[in-house]
Structure 1
Amino acid sequence: MTEERVERVLAEVHDDFGMIRVLEVDDYRFLEFGDAIEQSCTFTADPAWLEYDYTRAMLIGALCHEAPESALFMGLGAGTLTQACLKFLPLEDVEAIELRPDVPRLAMEYLGLADDPRLYIRIGDALELLDSAESADLIFVDLYTDTGPGVAHLAWNFLKSCQERLTPGGWLVINQWASDDGKPLGAALLRGLYHRHYWELPVKEGNVILIVPADLDQTLDFDALSERAEGLAPQLGYSLAALIKALRPAS
C-alpha cells in the first residue's frame, strides 16, 4: 500500500492577475498560478536542482556558450533555473524581469531563491522592459500564465528584439509550447524570423526548447557542448547526455 502524499499550502496570495500559491509535498515545494497550474518545482534541500527536463534543456542552451558573463531571464518563477545558472556558470551580471511582484518575494521566502549580489530583479511586463535591459550573453524566455504561454511567445517584434539584444556569440533560449504535432507553437513564424537557423529540443513535459544563436554565422558546436555538460555532470548530480542527443535542427 503506497503512502499518500500530504500536500501543505505554505502561502496563497491574490494579485491583479489571479492567485499565486506555494505548496509543499514531501521534499519539494511548488509554485502554482490560478487553478492548480504548476509553474515551478523546487527541491528544498538544493534550490539549484533542476527537477524537470525542460529546465535541464534550458540549461543545455546556456552551455552552448563557452563562458557566459551576463544573462537575462524573462520570467522568474521559483528561480530554479536562475539559481542553477548562477551556481554552475561563470556569470557576473544577471537580470530577471518578472511581471508579478509577489513571485520573487515568495521565491525568496519559500523556494530558496538566494539574495545573490549578481542578481537584479525588475518588476514589469517583459514586452515593455526588454528595450531597457542590458545586452546579455544568454537570454531566456519563459513567460507563462495559468492559461499557457504569454503573448510574447508569438510576438514577432519581441522575439526579434530578444535575438538583437544578444552579445556577439550569445544564445537565446525559449521555452516554447508544443503543438499536437510536436512542433513548437508558431513554428512558421519562428522559421521565418530566425531563418531556420536554430535548434529544437523536445522534452517530455510537452514543450520544445528553442536554442537560437545571435547571428547566422554562429553554429552549435556539439562536441564542445557535450564536453561542457559531461564535465558539469558530477556537480549537477545528473547527466544531460540524453537530452543533448535529442537536439535537432529547426523543423
Structure 2
Amino acid sequence: MPGLPPVGQMPDPLLIAEVQDEFGVIQVVEMGAYRFLEFGEAIEQSCVYMPEPSWLEYDYTRAMLLGALCHEQPESALFLGLGAGNLTQACLKFLPLDDVEVIELRPDVPRLAMEHMGLTDDPRLTIRIGDAIELLDSAEKTDLLFVDLYTDHGPATGHLAWRFLEDCRNKLNPGGWLIINQWASNDGKPLGAALLRGLYHRHYWECPVKEGNVVLLIPADLEQNLDMGCLQMRAGELAPRLGYSLQPLIEALRPAS
C-alpha cells in the first residue's frame, strides 16, 4: 500500500512542467512516485501516486469519496474544480457512473493533468472550462455534486456564497448528495458554519480530516437521511478494491455542528 515516505526520506523535488496563465503559476512537481499539482508559491492542490492515479493519498479526497457512497447507485456526477483529477478518476473507477462532468476554471489544469498526472480521457467524462459559479446553471442535474474550488490563496468565493451553495443543492436529483471540501476554522468547525447551518437547516454531516479541512455531506432535501449501516456496508465491500479502509472516516462523521 503506497504512502508518502517520512520527510527525511523524501527525494528532491523535480519540476516536470510549469505554465503561467492569467491567474498565476501552475507547476507539476515530482517526488519519487508522486506528482503534485501546485499553484502560486508552491501551494499544493493535488497529489497523485503515478503507478495508480486513482489512488487517493489524502484523507480529504477519501472523505469526498465516502460522501459519494452515501448514494445507493449514482449514475451521474458533477465536479466543480478538477485539480489533478485523481478523485474524478477514483469515482469513475469505483462507482457505477455513466456520465461525469467537470467544470474547471483554468484550461491548463486538465491539460497538465492528462499530460503529466495520469488523467485518462474516459468516454464518460466531459470537461468544460470556465467559472463554476457562472456555468453551474447550464449543467445537468446530477446524483453527486462535488465542490472543491481552491486557488493559491484558499477557497474560492463560492465556498461562502449563499446563492451558489443553494444552487448546488438544487442541482441534485432526488436522493442526490452534495459534497463540499470546506476549510476548517481554528475551532474545528467548517468555514462559514453559521451560513451553512442556516442554508441547509443543520441537515448535513461533517467529516473532519487530518489535513485540516472539513468535508460536508449534504442530502438533496430535508426528508433524506444518511443510512449509516448502508454506508458502512458499501465502504466495507469497496475496501479490498481501494486498498485502504474508509472506516476511520465513517467513525469521524458527526451531525452539523
TM-score, normalised on structure 1?
A: 0.99
Gaps in structure 2 of 5+ consecutive residues: 1-7
Query: Counterpart amino acid of 1:163?
Result: R
Q: Which residue of structure 2 lines up, in the alignment, with residue 92 of structure 1?
A: 98
1:104 aligned residue: 110
2-structure distance, mates of 1:63, 1:209: 14
| Structure 1 residue 238 corresponds to structure 2 residue 244 | yes
Amino acid at match of 2:45: Q
2: CA distance, partners of 1:181 / 1:168 = 33
Alpha-carbon offset, residue 4 of structure 1:
5.4
**What is the percentage of aligned positions where both structures have the same residue?**
73
* Alignment match of 1:43 (pick from 30, 37, 49): 49
Change (3 A) 1:66 1:3: closer
Task: Report the CA distance between 1:90 and its aligned residue.
Answer: 0.2
Alpha-carbon offset, residue 6 of structure 1? 1.8
Residues 206-225 of structure 1: CA deviation (Å, up to 9, x unaligned)? 00000000000000000000
Q: Tell whether the 8 Å contact from 2:10 to 2:31 is kept in structure 1 after alignment.
A: no
The corresponding residue for 1:114 is 120
Structure 2 counterpart SS, 1:130: helix
Indicate the residue corresponding to 2:21 in structure 1. 15
Judge conservation of contact 2:10–2:32 (CA < 8 Å) in 1: no
Q: CA RMSD in A?
A: 0.6
| Unaligned stretches of 5+ residues in structure 1 | none
Whichever residue aligns with residue 61 of structure 1, its letter is G
* Residue 214 (structure 2) aligned to one of 208, 219, 229: 208
Q: Which amino acid aligns with 2:55?
A: W
d(CA) in 2 for partners of 1:225, 1:152: 28
TM-score (norm 2): 0.97
In structure 1, distance between residues paired with 2:67 and 2:10: 37
Q: 1:142 aligns with which of 120, 138, 148?
A: 148
Match of 1:55 in 2: 61
Q: Secondary structure at the match of 2:46?
A: strand
After TM superposition, where is structure 1 displaced by more than 6 Å over at least 4 residues in a row? Answer: none
